[in-house]
Structure 1
């Protein structure tokens, strides 16, 4: 599948001409980049819906939505790893000025916190499932469910804001790099595609 995407991607770039300046997005971006941004956006929406539901006492609906958010985030992680290890395409932020420092500050915080999300989100999910008694957890005694509820609440104080921040900043980084201040490596006004873009896989991820 990745090979098919790469062929379509390179074909699109090879056929690009003067009409590139008419497009609102950076054509040089690999399709997985846009997929990752879409998954991050969806995860953000699900997290906000989950927050809205739990604040209104809709615990069961909240649990289902948060499981969906976990699934979407897992899909994102799979796509992200595929992009960086299979495609191996790196695009640098080349816009000068203060915005460059803002970009790298956001990117650094995003990357550092993203490392913790799988562990925090999974722990919060497991405790939450045991707290409400879903599946095999239905057989747990009330005292054990209460202990898991307390653990769930303790974890989500950190897990939720970090998870939400990582999802939001993932979209922000995407918008800054590919839409608001497109990298010179993806400049749609160029009549020729830079070598680093024309040959995916030639640049380390």
Structure 2
């Protein structure tokens, strides 16, 4: 695995989280509490692994963002989506553990009240996380001849290994 593979892996983790969230929602609505519990624990683990991968990738590329190659209306759509994704992802960093902790403590009425807010926000963040990946890397990547930060980081790492 190379540094260039991490965004695709992170998008896959977000997609899996979306599937798990969907399953968890259906399970609780149909009264399958134990299955809901297991699926939601899995969703939390997958999202935590995503967060580690995302932060790790940002550290490896020294915080440099990936440029968006789209223009015109799609650029506006992308940045509105990205802005809402980032703001709500910050909220999720608090909401998910809080909602999860209420369930662990057996405070199910409070858990349910918090989940009414947490679930749709977490769902949106997971879906838009996948969309951000596709916008940046598949549908509208920056010009192919533009400097690639990730390739430069990999080159620097390889040079250090060979010199040292």
The normalised TM-score by structure 1 is 0.70
Choose which of 109, 113, 120 in structure 2 pairs with 1:154.
Answer: 113
Q: Which residue of 10, 19, 29 corresponds with 1:45?
A: 19
Structure showing the higher helix proportion among its residues: 2
Matches of 2:97 and 2:66, distance apart in 1: 31
Q: Could you tell me how far 1:201 is from its partner in structure 2?
A: 7.5
CA distance change for structure 1 residues 77 and 199 in 2, over 3 Å: closer, same or farther?
A: same
Work out whether 1:124 is the aligned partner of 2:99.
yes
SS at match of 2:67: coil
How far does residue 87 in structure 1 lie from its aligned partner after superposition?
A: 2.7
Cα drift, residue 123 of structure 1:
1.2
Find runs of 4+ consecutive structure 1 residues off by over 4 angstroms: none
How is 1:158-169 mapped onto 2 (pairs within 5 angstroms)?
Answer: 158-169=117-128
- Any conservation in 1 of the 2:67–2:141 contact (CA below 8 Å)? no
In 1, Cα distance between equivalents of 2:53 and 2:112: 30
Question: Is 1:198 matched up with 2:151?
Answer: yes
- Give 1:180-195 correspondences, 5 Å limit: 180-184=139-143, 187=144, 194=147
After superposition, give the CA deviation of every residue in 1:46-105 in whole Å (9 maximum; x if it has no partner): 000000100100011001100000000000000000000123342111221100000000
| 3-state SS of paired residue (2:56) | helix
Residue number in structure 2 paired with 1:5: 2
CA displacement, residues 96-136 of structure 1 (integer Å, 9 cap, x when unaligned): 110000000000000000011121111111111222xxxxx
1:106 paired to 2:88:
no
If the length of structure 2 is used for normalisation, what is the TM-score? 0.87
| Structure number with larger C-alpha Rg | 1
Alignment partner, residue 158 of structure 2: none
Once the two structures are superposed, residues 17-36 of structure 1 have per-residue CA deviations (whole angstroms, 9 ceiling, x without a partner) of xxxxxxxxxxxxx1111111
Aligned ranges 1:11-22 → 2 under 5 Å? none
